[in-house]
Each structure stands twice: as structure tokens, then as C-alpha cells.
Amino acid sequence: MKQLFAKMLNAWPVKGCKLMRCLAFIGVAASAQAFDVTDDSGVVVHLTQPPQRIVSLLPSLTESVCELGACARLVGVDRYSNYPASLQKLPQVGGGLDPNIEAIVALRPDVVLMAVSSRASERLRSLGIKVVSLEPKTHADVQRVMLKIGEVLAVPDAAKIWRVIDAGVSAAAQSVPASAKGTRVYFEVNQGPYAAGESSFIGETLTRLGVKNIVPAKLGPFPKLNPEYIVRANPDLIMVGERNAGGLTQRPGWHSIRAVHDNRLCIFSTEQADSLVRPGPRMAEGARLMAQCLSDKAPKSTAGAKP
Amino acid sequence: MSFLVWSLVLLSLALTGLGVCVGSTGFENLIGPLLHPNIDPAKTAMAQQIVGQIRLPRTLGAWAAGALLGLAGAVAQGLFRNPLADPYLLGSASGASLGVALTLAVLGGGAGMLGGSMMNGGTAVSVFSGSVLVRLGLTGAAFVGAVLAVLLTLALSKGVQHTLRLLLAGVVVGVVLGAATQMVLLFSPDSLQAMQAFMLGSTAFVGWAACALMAGIWVLCMSVGGLLGRVLDGLSLGEATAHSLGLPLGSLRIALVAVLALATGTAVAQTGLIAFVGLAAPHLVRSVIKTTHGRLMLLASLMGGALLMAADTLARWLIAPQELPVGVLTAVLGGGYLLWLMHRNSRGFAGGAQ
């Protein structure tokens, strides 16, 4: 700690820091411990104090920061981070894959949270900015990322907050009527048609709700299917976002699918779709939306349905 | 000539049979259940539905799109007296896709007249929609885009006399319009992935409406092209000779550009950007026989149809029940073929210019 003080006192006057700020800064530093965090890309990030200025470049990470009660520490987000609404006042620094490096540097963040897949982390690190790369893809990832961000932000409640989310998903699963369990569901991500398979985040939620995904895990998380596959699988229920719902029932041969024929389509609004597809703290909300859809639209008895 | 026509027709019929038997489960004989409904009525009903509403229209749709592209390629190569000309190199395909992307962006955003009336209340128009009006609207937009792109290319190259200038202009127009399309897509991120799948070429949602539309346009383009075949023959002897033969070159050229744009636009609007079929089909025909342009157009059409049908069947088959983008497959196969052709017979290839 003494060494740290010495370093700071040496370094700060060079940067022309005002006396008051110096004192305030030292005060904070004195109250905190320096700590190391290993991120998902295996990089060890050394933090001298809990970061106060955070830039997040992934909507699910942004939501996790806010869920941990640190929304006020965000100073910049990517253009897709739209929840909670208070973020609208923050400067946007481009997208996760094409961030505006200059704008991020200008915000003087203590740490940047971003996806592992983005190439920008190298560039930011070389500019001396601390980057924590995280990759939430599955339910387990959401928990791990939540705890990791809690560690980075030095928020002690992360585990408790995760338990609340997890309990929310379980509650949603319990609310699904017994008659709707085993409903065969097709979740269309977009019109390619790309489907959400069992191994995707959406697929995991569906599994926890006790329904059967027509796209098995072996096809990968988001396969581009032959539409004929869906007609043949003949799902009882189709879930789709409103952006992709146009013309779905008029596709060749689709009118004979049980779900289309009986009008068992759940069309989620764009805001709802966000909480369904983002592996973040709103997954309980997403599970509730799907459970609601199942309660409303699933056939009352699937006993007659063919496997 | 007639030998080649018949063998191509037979090949297409054989491929239709194969296409009907290849789907989400890989190869599977559905013709049996179709012909013998008494054995297993449930299986026959399922086969009727799968074949009648999905596999047959998309297989025939692939043929029609390939035929349109082959025809467009033959017209382009004759019209511009250039063996490298194809619907893509002249920018018409980029123009067509820009037309489609713009239409979707405008209609998708505002749920315009077409969207409002056709889709149940306010939802966006889909690029894969099966409804006739949407298909016609998209085809119209693609046609306008293709015509404008070709005219822009011609304006930039100041006519068709300078091959190099023409190709350069075509490349420039293609790149600029392609970039404009990407920009339109970037501003509508919701449709980005679906449009991307479309741009790579897909027959996944070709229904009977799209299939009939393409077949109708093909018949129209083929008859106009057949009538104008003599113009192309005249042109192949050089502009001065064509003039001395008494051909009204100006107006006939415009008619041919219209045929080119209509054929390209129709194919692009239904199946997206499918590479190399338009370029490779006429070359494949020429590598077998030398013939007049009228016949070349017919043969290139049949060849293009068979090519795309085969590629589409493969795209469905290789990683079933997932699908490869058929445009990627034609690019790989067609590109490989052209490289081989150039390697084998580089003199003949270069000599095809005049």
C-alpha cells in the first residue's frame, strides 16, 4: 500500500491533477484493495480499485451492471444497449463489433466490458485501457458473468442477485400448466430461417420450461434450416419476434403446420424479444414471457399429438 | 443442337426427380408413396404436401431462376460482345438487390400500402414472403434497379465499344451499388441477417407464385430474345457490318438491355444473388457447340436451369436438415469450372471476344 501511495504521489502531479481531486482519489484508493480479475479470454486484469467509470459494449453486460446496482457508474454504452431506459442519456460509442475506439478513450473509462469475440479489445488494451472480455452464451454463463462482474465492481450481492434471477426462471417454469408440458415448440430467430436450437440460450430456457424444442442440440445453437424440416416436425406452437413474423403463415406449405393451422403463434414485440434472446439478468423475464405464451396458446392436451 | 436441347431437357427432368427426393432428411424416395397411395395413406398425404407445396415449387423455381440467369448471361455476352459479361459484372444484379433492399427498408419501416394490405396489420414485408403482390412488387423494384444500374454502367462507359471501359464501369457500378445496399441494411439491423441469407442466394421459400412468375417472365424474355437473336448475330460481326445489314441498332439494343434487366431482376427478386450461373451457362454451351445467338439463348437457359437445379439440390443435401446458401455453392462450383476452362483452353477463351 505504501508503495502504491508513493507511485501515485509521484505520478499525479505530472498529469496536472488538482489538489482536491488528488486528495479525493487517494481517499478512495486508501479504502480499497488492489485486485486481479481473470476474464473469459484468460487475460488477468489488474485493478487498483473498484472501477468507477465503466463502458459496456454488450447489452447483456450492460444489463448485468445495472442489475448489480451500478448503473450510475456507466459512462458509455454500445448502440444496442437499450435497457434500462436511463441509458438513453449516456453517450453511445458504436457497436460491440465496431466500437468507436476514440470515443471510448475520450470517456477515460476505468474498465471496458465487452464480448470476447470483438477484436477491439486488443486495440483498447494497447492504448492502456483495462478491458474485461466476457462471453455470456448459456444459462451457466449468465451466472458466471454475473459473479465476475460483481467481482470487478466489488459488489458483494452478486450471488444473491443471481439466486433471485434463477428462482424467477424456476417460478416461470412452475407456472406452466401441466397440460402445456411437452408442447413441441419452434422458436424462429429470423427468416433465414434460422432457428434457436436446444443448445442455444433460448433453447435452454425452453428446456427449463419443460417443453420440447423441435431443433435438437446436435444441429448447433442457431442452425439455418430447410423450411421443410419445420413443416415435417409439425410443431404445436411457434414463437417468433414481430420483426420476423411477417408472411410466416403464408410460406409455402406452412398453413398445414399444426401451430399455424390452430393459430398457436406467439409473436413477441421487439422489446420482449430482447429479454428473450439476451443472455443476461432479464432471463427470468424472458422465461416468464415464454411461460405466459405457453399458458395462453399451448394446446390444452398434447396427449393426442404425435411424437 | 437438338441433341443438346433434348439431353438438357432430359437432364433437367432427371434433376427434378432427384430434387423432389432430396429434402430435410437427405435423400428419401417420396415418389413411391406418391404413386402408391394405397399402401400408407398417411405417408402419401405427407409426401403430397411436402412435394407439392415445398419441394416441387422450389426445385422448378431453381430451374426457372437458373434459366433466367443463363438467358441474361447469353444476352449480355452477345450484346456487349464480351465473354466476361454477365448479369453481375454489369452491375445489374447489384442494382436489383439494391432495389429489393430499398423496397424492404421503406415498406418494413412504414408498413406501407403493400405491407399494410397484404400482411395482417402493420407487420413488415418479408423478403421471403410468398404472396403474389409482394413478389410482383419486389420483382418490379428489382427490375427498376437492374435497368438503372445497367444504364449507369453504359453511361459511365460511354457506350459498348470499349470492352475494358465497359467492364471497369460495370465493376465500379457493382461495387458502389453493393455498398449502398450494405448501407441500407446497416440502418435496418433487424432485417440484416434475413437479408444476408437472401443475398447469398436461397430458394428456401420459393412457392408456386414465385415459380410461376419466373416461368412467365422467362417465356416472355425468351420470345423477345429469340426475335432479337439475329441482331446479336449481326453485332458479332462488328458494329459497322451490323449497320450495313440494315439493323436499327439503337432501339434494338435498348430492347435487349430491357430483356437483360428483366431477366436478372426477376431472378434476383425471387432467389437473391446467385453467382456465376449467368456467366458459366453460355460458356458451357459454347464449349459443346457453336451456334447462332437465338439458339444460344435457349441452350444457355436450359443449361443455366439444369446448373442451378443441381446446385440447389446439392445445397439442400450436403448438410441436411440445414442448408447451404446456394449462391455460395454456385460461386465455388462455377468459379472452379471457369478456372479449369481457362487453364485447359486459354486461347479459345480469350478468342471468344469477337
pLDDT by 10s per residue, chain A, length 307: 444 444 444 444 444 444 444 444 444 444 457 889 999 999 999 999 999 999 999 999 999 999 999 999 999 999 889 889 999 899 999 888 889 999 999 999 999 999 998 888 999 999 999 999 999 999 999 999 999 999 999 988 899 999 999 999 999 999 999 988 889 999 998 887 889 999 999 999 999 999 999 999 999 898 988 888 999 899 999 999 887 787 788 888 888 899 998 999 999 998 898 889 899 999 999 999 999 999 998 887 644 444 4
Q: Nearest by CB to B50, which of A189, A192, A232?
A: A232
Place of cell 447489452: A59
> What pLDDT, on a 0 to 100 scale, did the predictor assign at position B354?
36
Does some domain include residue A132?
yes
Is the CB of residue A95 less than 8 Å from the CB of residue A80?
Answer: yes
A interface mutation test: which of B20, B22, B30, B53 has the most A CBs within 10 A? B53
- Encode pLDDT of B322-338 as tens digits: 888 898 898 888 778 77
Does some domain include residue A4?
yes
- Encode pLDDT of B261-271 as tens digits: 889 889 988 88
ipTM (interface predicted TM): 0.72
B287 is written with which cell numbers?
Answer: 464449349
Q: Which of A225, A256, A146, A47 is nearest to B50 (CA)?
A: A256
| CA distance to A210, A221, A250, A289, B27, per residue, from A169 (Å) | 12, 20, 34, 11, 41
Which whole number is the average pLDDT over B190-199? Answer: 72
Strands A237-241 vs B26-27: parallel, antiparallel or unpaired: unpaired
* Contact: A250, B323; criterion CB under 8 Å: no
| Parent domain of A6 | 1-31
- Encode pLDDT of B61-80 as tens digits: 999 999 999 999 999 888 87
What does the mean pLDDT of chain B come to?
Answer: 81
Reply yes or no: is the peptide bond before residue B248 cis, omega within 30 of 0. no
Q: What distance in Å separates residue A226's CA from the closest CA in chain B?
A: 6
| CA distance to A142, A191, A266, A282, B186, per residue, from B109 (Å) | 33, 17, 22, 27, 14
> What pLDDT, on a 0 to 100 scale, did the predictor assign at position A175?
93
End-to-end CA distance of chain A: 66
Does some domain include residue A212?
yes
Do A1 and A48 belong to one domain? no
Q: What distance in Å separates residue A42's CA from the closest CA in chain B?
A: 31
Exposed e or buried b for every residue in B72-91, given b needs 16+ CB within 10 A?
bbbbbbbbbbbbbbbbbbbb
Cβ-based contacts under 8 A for chains A and B: 101
* Contact: A251, B130; criterion CB under 8 Å: yes
Q: Which of B245, B256, B263 is nearest to B78 (CA)?
A: B256
Looking at beta carbons, which residues of chain B come within 8 Å of A226?
23-24, 204, 316, 320-323
Do A41 and A150 belong to one domain? yes
CATH number of the domain enclosing A121: 3.40.50.1980
Q: Where are the domains of chain B?
A: 2-351
Is the CB of residue B58 less than 8 Å from the CB of residue B206?
Answer: yes
Which residues in chain B belong to E strands, given as ranges?
22-23, 26-27
d(C-alpha A68, C-alpha B103), whole Å = 43
d(C-alpha A78, C-alpha A57), whole Å = 5
Tell me the whole-structure pTM to 2 decimals. 0.78
Do A119 and A220 belong to one domain? no
> What pLDDT, on a 0 to 100 scale, did the predictor assign at position B115?
32
Distance of CA B292 to the CA centre of its chain: 22
* Contact: B205, A242; criterion CB under 8 Å: no
B2-351 folds as ABC transporter involved in vitamin B12 uptake, BtuC (1.10.3470)
Q: Does B190 touch chain A (CB under 8 A)?
A: yes
Torsion angle, alpha carbons of A236, A242, A245, A247, to 10: 140
A113 is written with which cell numbers?
Answer: 466490458
DSSP bridge pairs for A76: A55
User: What 3-state DSSP class applies to A56?
Assistant: strand
Do A200 and A87 belong to one domain? no
Do A100 and A137 belong to one domain? yes
Residue B319, Ramachandran bin (φ over 0: left; ψ between -120 and 50: alpha; else beta)? alpha
* Contact: A191, B207; criterion CB under 8 Å: no
Q: Does B115 touch chain A (CB under 8 A)?
A: yes
d(C-alpha A269, C-alpha B181), whole Å = 27
> What pLDDT, on a 0 to 100 scale, did the predictor assign at position B126?
62
d(C-alpha B257, C-alpha B274), whole Å = 20
> What pLDDT, on a 0 to 100 scale, did the predictor assign at position B113?
30
B interface mutation test: which of A186, A229, A250 has the most B CBs within 10 A? A250
Looking at beta carbons, which residues of chain B come within 8 Å of A96?
none
Do A40 and A22 belong to one domain? no
d(C-alpha B176, C-alpha B165), whole Å = 16
Do A49 and A151 belong to one domain? yes
Domain count, chain A: 3
A108 is written with which cell numbers?
Answer: 477515460
d(C-alpha B344, C-alpha A200), whole Å = 48
End-to-end CA distance of chain B: 22
